[in-house]
Amino acid sequence: MNALDLFRLEGARALVTGASRGIGRAVAEGLADAGCDLAVTARTLPALDATVRAVEERGRKAVALDGDLAEPGVAAALVDRAAAALGGLDVVVHNAGTLPTAEDGSALLVPLQHAEQRDWETVISINLNATAAVCRASHPHLLESDRASLVLMSSIAGIVGTPMMEAYAATKAAQLSLARSLAVGWARQGIRVNALCPGWTRTDMTAFASEAGPLSDWLTGHVPMGRWATADEVVGATLFLASPAASFVTGHALVVDGGLAVPDGGLAGHPKPPSPFAAA
């Protein structure tokens, strides 16, 4: 056997939520490279055009599905529509997620004591309630697969303290807990469940920070590797968890963070700019 074949997913049927851009789109393309046919989701179909084209250029089938995960019932419906379109599901990467956002769509960075309860609830509903619904709806489909893998796109924010984004961080920590509980519960049903924790990754979601000098410097100042990740740097770890290369890996939280979560990575002595939030 060639060890590289362990990363192949020839003919596997994969769902990637939140695949219109950023990490989700990169993951969808990576899974297509590995041989998957794909169902990809976002709130609107036009947003998925580029992803569908990229998957089809790789010779794989791509089905675009639209739905807003903030709406009750949509997450489960997306899973069932994906399974119907692909004839079942072997791999589910639940990647869609959001930061708290202001009415104009910009990121809302407010410490918990000043945040509105409705902002908390919006983030919980998209990042956590929809995650539970995706997992629940995926279960019967994954049960039918002999290579079932569910990957939850959590975050380093679920591991390290993340001021100004408490709701987001809490949902990402909850995804880690859910991955562990489901991994244990479903292990003897042949379904592996893992979580992936990217560190600060340059995407549309983080443009407000990566394109703002002092904020970007502060964030990367705490990353031993001293820089932002690209979305492509999350693909290999996702493919590993999704593929037979990880056939004995379940309940794991795989960190892809340039060293950010190393306990007291600060001992490296790299200079850290002062927090722009010091007075908040």
Ligand X SMILES: NC(=O)c1ccc[n+]([C@@H]2O[C@H](COP(=O)([O-])OP(=O)(O)OC[C@H]3O[C@@H](n4cnc5c(N)ncnc54)[C@H](OP(=O)(O)O)[C@@H]3O)[C@@H](O)[C@H]2O)c1
Instruction: Give me the catalytic one of 7, 168, 200, 240.
Output: 168
User: How many Å apart are CA 37 and CA 250, to the nearest integer?
Assistant: 23
The answer to the question of residue 131 lying near ligand X (CB under 6 A) is no
* Measured distance CA(95)–CA(25) in Å, rounded: 10
Least distance CB 74 / ligand X (angstroms) = 7
Contact region for ligand X (CB under 6 A) — 83-91, 184-192, 197-205, 242-250?
197-205
> Nearest-CA neighbor of 76 among 26, 41, 105, 122?
41
- Measure the CA–CA gap between 49 and 135, rounded to whole angstroms: 26
Subset of residues 27 to 56 that bind ligand X, contact rule: CB under 6 A: 42-43, 47
Q: What is the DSSP string of 8-25?
A: --TT-EEEESS-SSHHHH
Q: With contacts defined by CB under 6 A, name the span among 6-14, 17-25, 111-119, 186-194 that binds ligand X.
A: 17-25
Question: Active-site residue 168, yes or no?
Answer: yes
Piece of the chain touching ligand X by CB under 6 A; list 82-90, 92-100, 177-185, 242-250: 92-100
Q: Is 228 left (phi over 0), alpha (psi -120 to 50) or beta?
A: beta
In the bound state with ligand X, the residue whose beta carbon lies nearer, of 68 and 119, is 68
Q: Give the closest residue to 129 by CA, choosing from 205, 72, 196, 44.
A: 72
Report the nearest approach of ligand X to the CB of residue 127 (Å).
Answer: 7
Residues that bind ligand X (CB under 6 A): 18-24, 42-43, 47, 68-70, 95-98, 126, 153, 155-156, 198, 200-201, 203-206
The residues assigned a catalytic role are 168
